[in-house]
Amino acid sequence: MTRLDQSFAALADPTRRAIIARLAEGEASVQDLARPFAISQPAISRHLKVLEEAGLIETRIDGTSRPRRLKPQAVAALWDWLGQYRSLWEEAFRRLDAVLDDLPDAETPNPEPQTPKGPRHDP
């Protein structure tokens, strides 16, 4: 499995995405990372291990403390990979905008039905 595959697999879990979001704010201890979740500290540690094996985070040793931090270069690699599809999505959205611009405005009332012009024949 490539590093990119590992990264996307690691990010498939919502708890790990939340951990990444928290670490984007700055490094944190396991206890700090576990606080918002209703899961055990060992479960958080397992999530951290997956993120570390994927290369998304790293552990800094500070005495007895082991704060985790995001590896910006790993996130940049994900962003670069996704970026190659950005122009495709932007073009699709431009085409969608053009189609939506051509649709009648929902707030504009429908014009009165046209009556046929020409001679009128009463029965």
Query: What is residue 72's predicted lDDT score, i.e. its pLDDT?
Result: 86
**Which of the 8 DSSP states describes residue 64?**
T
Query: What is residue 114's predicted lDDT score, i.e. its pLDDT?
Result: 63
CATH number for the segment(s) 3-77: 1.10.10.10
Query: What is residue 22's predicted lDDT score, i.e. its pLDDT?
Result: 95
CA dihedral over 111, 116, 118, 123, signed as positive or negative: negative
Strand (E) or helix (H) holding 23: helix 14-23
Q: Chunk the chain into consecutive blocks of 10 residues (it has 123) and report each block's average pLDDT, rounded to whole numbers.
A: 88 96 93 92 94 94 91 86 87 92 74 60 56
Alpha helices in 56-109 (DSSP H): 72-83, 86-102
Residues 4/80, Cβ–Cβ less than 8 Å? no
Query: What is residue 57's predicted lDDT score, i.e. its pLDDT?
Result: 96
